[in-house]
Amino acid sequence: MSLFRISRTFLGSPLSVVEARRFVTAMLSGWPEAEDAELIVSELATNAVRHSESGRFGGRFTVSIQAEADRLWLGVLDEGGPRSPRAFPHHVDGEDGRGLMLVTELSAGWGVTGDDKGRIVWAVLELLPQPVVWQ
């Protein structure tokens, strides 16, 4: 069951990462998972701009949020390219390679679909059960 699904496309520039964060915050206002979702989308959007063809002049990336009964699915569609996302556990103390490690820590899981023409890097957050309040 999908409670809602919403997508927004951004220009592939570093400034758009801030807009993508705001988009997530606005869509998930009041949700306990909003902060984690914002951090995850920030890392995935930064990667789309830095490592995929979305970062070339005129490139774009699309952020999607899908809320289901017990989980939140977050996806960033990029414009592909020769490189593929991969986490570097051994680079955890280094300058780079922390983004996807953070996504690993914050999410219940993440993955990649697509190919050099365009990839979706997605992550899932499990929703905290909310207490039922009887009025």
Ligand X SMILES: Nc1ncnc2c1ncn2[C@@H]1O[C@H](COP(=O)(O)OP(=O)(O)OP(=O)(O)O)[C@@H](O)[C@H]1O
Task: List interacting residues with ligand X (CB under 6 A).
Answer: 43, 47-48, 50-52, 78, 81, 83-88, 96-101, 119, 121
DSSP readout, 1-50? -EEEEEEEEEESSHHHHHHHHHHHHHHTTT-TTHHHHHHHHHHHHHHHHH
CB of 132: closest distance to ligand X in angstroms?
38
Which of residues 28 and 121 has its CB atom nearest to ligand X in the complex? 121
x/- site string to Mg ion, residues 73 to 112, per CB under 5 A?
--------------------------x-------------
Helices (H), 76-131: 99-106
CB of 104 to ligand X, least distance (A): 9
Q: Which two tokens stand for residue 74?
A: 């977050």
